Amino acid sequence: MEHKHKYDAQGKQLCCTAQEQKIYTDANAKKLLGKHHNEDGHNHEHSDDGGHNHGSTDKSTFQLFLPAIISFALLMIAIAFDNWVPQSWFTGWVRIVWYVVAYAPVGLPVIKEAFESIRKGDVFSEFLLMSIATIGAFVIGEYPEGVAVMLFYAVGEVFQTLAITRAKANIKTLLDQRPDEVTILENNQAKTIKAETASIGNIIQLKPGEKLGLDGELLSETASFNTAALTGESKPDTKTKGETVLAGMINLTTVAQVKVTTAYTDSKLSKILELVQNATAQKAPTELFIRKFAKIYTPIVVLLAVLITIIPYFFVSDYVFSQWLYRALVFLVISCPCALVISIPLGYFGGIGAASKNGILFKGSNFLDAIADIKNVVMDKTGTMTEGVFKVQEVVLKSEFNKDEILKMVNALESQSTHPVATAIHQYVGEIDNSIRLDNTEEIAGHGLKANVNGKELLVGNFKLMDQFNIKYDLDPTTIVYTLIAIAYDGKFAGYITIADSIKEDAQETINLLHKLNVKATMLSGDKSTVVKYVAEQLGIDNAFGDLLPEDKVNRVKEIKAKGGSVAFVGDGVNDAPVVALSDAGIAMGGLGSDATIETADVVIQDDKPSKIPMAINIGKQTKKIVWQNIALAFGVKAIVLVLGAGGLATMWEAVFADVGVALLAILNAVRIQRMKF
């Protein structure tokens, strides 16, 4: 089945429907490269780098190089017999057979690929060009050169395979977090089975330290999990009975039981694997241009080679067919577009691999290009530049009240609430004092909590709660940046607690790096303006706007785009879906646990660190730089040697350099990005 994607007028990928989003089988997901449908409608066995399928990447490096080693050894022995070792037997059919045997290990696979390409409708492939050129060299008696051209071409293909394998390994190591086996309970007996064979409804027994293999529902009363594989959040996440737990989560405490609710191939992690697999199918404009160019360029080159052989017959007095055929063959070898069609997709693949290695997932090479040109980064506040976890910042109480006693009473009352504020207070104060008796506890919606303690009324909430109960206070709440929790006891204002979401450790570094890249930072948030502006001032963010509704964010982004410059929006990818769709590149922070995030965002940052935003931009810039270096190198060298070849000034050896040598240099340049430190 062909995997389809929807695009808007700008070519930006839109969300797939649930029906369209086909989940690959585990085996196919692990492969990461495989069959895809080309524009001509034929189902080619291609790797996503744009080249052909180079065989199993499970082969060792020695096995990959073995055909080339055999061919090289036979070629060097033959050249020695031809030039340096006097003998009489290495002539005639013996010499021809020797060179044919030297040619076979590297030549036959390419000839086979040429026939396969022709059978599938792709006549003018690089395989056909190399086959014609090398077989032609044999026809005119240039045996060493025929073997050498194919040998160097084969070596180039092996280097390409190794480069792709390295990039794939980076991605697979990062993403395939699922265990191969799970322990299920059958008739209260533990039984270990392959994870992919587990069925919906099976009960998984998960010991402390074990990783969950499938998505499911927690049957145990409570269990704590490390969810870093999915959300990037290293803090334990406590789940209660009936809550959803996901494949990749690690059980931290007691033995837990989980009921499987989703098939192995439909888990969140499988969808992330699919995301990366589809990434190489979303081509950058440069890559698409090169492919279209090669389809036009190659037939023209073949026609020119034929003309180089025939036309001189009518104009050159001492015309020798073999000489002009040799020139045409040299021309064919030089003109082979493999340096472009291999190195450019490999450059983008390397960029995707390097990003994955650093915990950044790109949905396609087109987004590597898009993010490289970003001029404005627009970001949400909570969960992007701040931790998204509330903490007590300050406790201010009147002198006539005992601070410890008031805090213990507040902690006891807040234990009746599940609000994040209550959690922050509990973490600050500590264990609940069970000796405190609460009577007539009441939650007043949108305001706070009320209870009687020791026969006296205790109020904990916002200042609207104070106003409702006519509690007099001597401060202006609007002058305080943080969220305020007001406290009143026995009809008197006792003081307040300030609570805030703390700024992430690398938030300052993020803004500094963005400015070094000449990228402007703008913060848009639904939080109150005083808090948003305070965070922006602390970090040096260029512009900040608070108290915004989703439609307000859309309008702000439109204003930024209207002033010029592309925009990347950074948020959770769910609540901000309209802004993500409007932006040139949508970036989700730590959103791997959400289906909606995976579908709406173009780039997903796995570990929740904002410093990965400038890193993603830098990876995009470096990838684009390397791609254009390869284009300039390939066209420059080929243009020079093509002219020399047509004029008879370049031999097969120069042709080998212009084709395979340039391809090797371009491949080595492309893999540099996987070794870069960002």
Bridge partners of residue 397, in order along the sequence: 495
Report the Cα–Cα distance between both ends of the chain, in Å, rounded: 38
Are 221 and 268 contacting, i.e. CB atoms less than 8 angstroms apart?
Answer: no
Give the closest residue to 632 by CA, choosing from 125, 352, 286.
Answer: 286
3-state secondary structure of 490: coil
Euclidean distance between CA atoms 112 and 93, whole angstroms: 25
Helix residue ranges per DSSP H, 21-91:
26-31, 61-83
- Sequence-separated contacts (24+) of 234-243 with Cβ below 8 Å: 235/389, 242/217, 242/218, 243/217, 243/218
Cα 245 from Cα 668, distance rounded (Å): 43
Find out whether 591 and 571 touch, Cβ atoms under 8 Å. no
Torsion of CA 177, 178, 179, 185, to 10 degrees: 140
Contact 526, 380 (CB under 8 A): no
Matching residue, tokens 């002033």 = 563
- How many CB atoms are located within 10 Å of the residue 639 CB? 12
Task: Give the three-class secondary structure for 442.
Answer: strand
Cα atoms in the Cβ-side hemisphere of radius 13 Å centred on 507: 23
Closest CA to 362 of 373, 351, 347: 351
d(CA 135, CA 108): 11
CA dist list (Å): 206 to 26, 248, 250, 259: 22, 12, 9, 11
- In this structure, which amino acid lies at residue 448? G
Q: How far apart are CA 637 and CA 18, in angstroms?
A: 48
User: Token digits for 607?
Assistant: 């570990």
Cβ distance 279 to 352 under 8 Å?
yes
The residues annotated with a catalytic role in the active site are 380
Sheet containing strand 250-251, strands side by side: 237-240, 222-226, 250-251
C-alpha to C-alpha distance for 348 and 319, rounded to whole angstroms = 47
Dihedrals phi, psi of 14, to nearest 5 degrees: -100, 170
Task: Give the list of residues 6+ apart from residue 322 with CB closer than 8 angstroms, or none.
Answer: 140, 141
